[in-house]
C-alpha cells in the first residue's frame, strides 16, 4: 500500500470532533519491527462533504468548508405584509365536583314472642310520626315518614310477616341524601309478649357534600359550599385582590355532579390566566373528585401580522424574521417592541 501513490493508506473513522489525535507507524518484516514514525493533527469535523451540503450561493472549498461563491446576497424584503385586529378572548375555566352517590338504607322491624299487635312511631329530626299499625302497608309507612319535615323522599318495601306477625320495612332514602341519621322508633303501643320495634342501618349513604376553596395567583377564597349558587362563588372569587371581574354559571346537581364555569371578564385579567388551584379537603363523599380544567385559553386584544416569504432568499435559506412595532413611523418613540419569528411561520398558513 505504501509508496508515492499512497494518498490515504488507512482511514481512521468514528473520531471525536475538535480533538487532537496522535498516530505512529512502524514497518515490520521477518526480522523484526522498525522504529516509529509519528504525526499528530487536530481532527475537525468538516462542514461540508459535497457542494450539495452548502447553500445555493456557496461552494465546498478544499478544507471542506462552505464558503461564499460570490453570488450570496441578503434576502429580498418579505411580501404582502398585512395587519388585522385580533379581539380579546376571555379565559374560561371549569370546576367540576363529583362523588359516588349511595342511598342510605335502614330497616324497621317489629317482633314479639306471640301475636304482635298495636302500633309504633318513628322519630327523625326532632319530629315523630303518628302511630303506624303493626301490619301497615309499605305505602302507609312511606307516607308517615314523608309527613316529617326532615324527610322529603323515601322508598319503602315490606317483607312477609313471620309466625307472630312481625315484619321488616326497608326504607331507602332519596332525600335527604348521603349519610342519614338512624331513625328512632318507639314500640310502647305495640301489644304481645315482649313486643318490640327496632331500627338498623343496612347501607350507609354517601353523597357529594362539604366545602372547597380556590386559589388564584397566590390568594385563596373562603370556604365555598359544594352546591353554592353561582353568584356566591362569583363573589368569593371577586373578593380576592388578584381577581377583578368574573362571570360564574352553575350546572348539575349533587347526585350527578356539579360544574361551575368561570369566565374571566375583567380588564385586569385579559389574556391567558393561571389555572385555579382547587382544594378538596373539605369535600365529602365516596370517591370525591374536584377538578379544574381550562376550557378556553384567554388571549389579549392585539394586531395580527401576516406576510409572505421574500421572492428571493439571496441563495441562502432564511433562518428567521424580525418583527418590530412602534407608535412612531420612525420607530424611535422609546416604546417600540421586537420579536424573532421562525422562518417556518411565513406563507399561506401564516395567520
Give the domain ranges of the chain: 1-73, 79-86+302-345, 92-100+208-296, 104-203
98: closest CA among 283, 273, 277, 337? 283
What DSSP string runs through 48-89? -SSGGGS-TTEEE-TTS-EEE-S---PPPPPEEEEEEEE--B
Contact 320, 78 (CB under 8 A): no
Half-sphere exposure of 258 (CA within 13 A, CB side): 23
Alpha-carbon torsion 303, 304, 308, 309, what sign? positive
Cα dihedral 295/300/303/305 (nearest 10): -50
pLDDT of residue 301: 84
Contact 175, 124 (CB under 8 A): no
CA angle 218, 265, 233 (to 5 degrees): 60
Looking at domain 1-73, which of 1.10.357, 3.30.450, 2.10.270, 2.60.40 is its CATH number?
A: 2.60.40
Question: Could you give the CA distance from residue 325 to residue 302 in angstroms, rounded to a whole number?
Answer: 12
Cell of 267: 380588564
Residue corresponding to grid cell 417592541: 337
DSSP class of residue 345? G
Q: How many CB atoms lie within 10 A of CB 121?
A: 17
Task: Assess whether the previous peptide bond of 176 is cis (omega < 30° from 0).
Answer: yes
Residue corresponding to grid cell 350527578: 256
Written as tens digits, the pLDDT of the chain (351 aa) is 555 555 556 777 667 767 888 888 877 778 777 787 878 887 766 667 777 778 889 888 877 788 899 999 999 999 899 989 888 899 999 999 999 889 999 999 999 999 999 999 999 999 999 999 999 999 999 999 999 999 999 999 999 999 999 999 999 999 998 899 999 999 999 999 999 999 999 999 988 999 999 999 999 999 999 999 999 999 999 999 999 999 999 999 877 899 999 999 987 778 899 999 999 999 998 899 999 999 999 988 888 888 898 999 999 888 889 999 898 998 899 888 998 888 876 654 444
Cell of 16: 471525536
225: closest CA among 248, 192, 198, 258? 258
Checking DSSP bridges between strand 320-325 and strand 337-342, what pairing results, if any? antiparallel
pLDDT of residue 17: 64
Contact 138, 121 (CB under 8 A): no
Contact 193, 202 (CB under 8 A): no
Contact 154, 183 (CB under 8 A): no
Amino acid at each position: 500500500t505504501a509508496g508515492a501513490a499512497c494518498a490515504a493508506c488507512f482511514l481512521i473513522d468514528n473520531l471525536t470532533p475538535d480533538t487532537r489525535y496522535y498516530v505512529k507507524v512502524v514497518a515490520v518484516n521477518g526480522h523484526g519491527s522498525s522504529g516509529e514514525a509519528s504525526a499528530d493533527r487536530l481532527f475537525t469535523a468538516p462542514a461540508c462533504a459535497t457542494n450539495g451540503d452548502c447553500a445555493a450561493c456557496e461552494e465546498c472549498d478544499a478544507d471542506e468548508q462552505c464558503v461564499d461563491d460570490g453570488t450570496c446576497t441578503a434576502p429580498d424584503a418579505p411580501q404582502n405584509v398585512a395587519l388585522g385586529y385580533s379581539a380579546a378572548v376571555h379565559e374560561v375555566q371549569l370546576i367540576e365536583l363529583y362523588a359516588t352517590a349511595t342511598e342510605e338504607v335502614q330497616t324497621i322491624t317489629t317482633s314479639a314472642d306471640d301475636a304482635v299487635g298495636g302500633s309504633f312511631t318513628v322519630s327523625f329530626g326532632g319530629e315523630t310520626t303518628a302511630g303506624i299499625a303493626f301490619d301497615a302497608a309499605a305505602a302507609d309507612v312511606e307516607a308517615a315518614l314523608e309527613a316529617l319535615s326532615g324527610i322529603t323522599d323515601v322508598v319503602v318495601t315490606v317483607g312477609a310477616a313471620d309466625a307472630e306477625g312481625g315484619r321488616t320495612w326497608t326504607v331507602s332514602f332519596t332525600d335527604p341524601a348521603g349519610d342519614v341519621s338512624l331513625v328512632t322508633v318507639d314500640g310502647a303501643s305495640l301489644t304481645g309478649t315482649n313486643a318490640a320495634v327496632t331500627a338498623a342501618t343496612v347501607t350507609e349513604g354517601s353523597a357529594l357534600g362539604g366545602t372547597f376553596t380556590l386559589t388564584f395567583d397566590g390568594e385563596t377564597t373562603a370556604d365555598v359550599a359544594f352546591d353554592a349558587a353561582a353568584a356566591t362563588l362569583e363573589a368569593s372569587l371577586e373578593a380576592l385582590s388578584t381577581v377583578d371581574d368574573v362571570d360564574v354559571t352553575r350546572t348539575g346537581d349533587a347526585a350527578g355532579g356539579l360544574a361551575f364555569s368561570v369566565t374571566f371578564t375583567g380588564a385586569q385579567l385579559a389574556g391567558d390566566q393561571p389555572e385555579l388551584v382547587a382544594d378538596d379537603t373539605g369535600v365529602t363523599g365516596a370517591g370525591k373528585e374536584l377538578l379544574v380544567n381550562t376550557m378556553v385559553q384567554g388571549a389579549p386584544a392585539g394586531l395580527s401580522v401576516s406576510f409572505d416569504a421574500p421572492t428571493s432568499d439571496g441563495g441562502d435559506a432564511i433562518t428567521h424574521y424580525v418583527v418590530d412595532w412602534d407608535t412612531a413611523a420612525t420607530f424611535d418613540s422609546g416604546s417600540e417592541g421586537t420579536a424573532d419569528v421562525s422562518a417556518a411561520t411565513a406563507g399561506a398558513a401564516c395567520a
